[in-house]
Amino acid sequence: MVTLEQVERLREKANVSFEEAKIALEAAEGDLLNALIYLEKQGHVAPPPGNGFYSSQNASQSEEEKSAKNEKKETYQGESFGDMMKRFGRFCGKILHKGNTNYLEAEKGDSIVFSMPVTVVIVLTAFLFWVVVPLFIISLFCGLRYHFRGKDLGRESVNKVMDGASNTVNDIKKSISGDQ
């Protein structure tokens, strides 16, 4: 049994007459959603804009129409996950290449004590932070000076920062020892 309240709700949603709403609700056994679908199939209500379709319409589509629709969705949504992963892989490869072609060098006086690829420095710092950072600071107090060598990091501006750190440590050593 269809109630007046159900008919009024369907009329509000579908903008149809009382009679059409009552017939649709009776056909849908009182289910409001099924009544709306019934009215859409009858042509009394326009389907929602966008991707709204019936499963029966989808089943009747040819394989060509389905693949064309899927291609349209892929281009609309942007690049695929595989393309993003390839781009991420290329980015990681560039970073690794830069890290392996640039070196951190420690000097004492005019001689180089050690030279290490930046990638190794980053990995060691990431996994052994509480060991590497104190050793770095202690080595500065022991008179080591650090510089970067390589195409990307061996610039004067980067090494000026490293010299500034060494000079600051030398100033601290002088103030502690009382040498002016």
Domains located in the chain, CATH noted: 4-77 (1.10.8.10), 102-177 (no CATH)
Strands (E) across the chain are located at 103-108, 111-117, 145-149
Low-confidence ranges of the chain (pLDDT < 50): 55-60, 75-76
Q: Which residue has the tokens 């501006």?
A: 157
What is each CA distance from 137 to 102, 133, 149, 177, in whole angstroms?
21, 6, 20, 17
**The model's pTM:** 0.51
pLDDT tens-digit readout, 136-151: 999 999 999 999 999 8
The predicted structure's pLDDT at residue 5 = 87
The predicted structure's pLDDT at residue 97 = 93
Amino acid at 111: S
> How many whole angstroms separate alpha carbon 13 and alpha carbon 45?
10
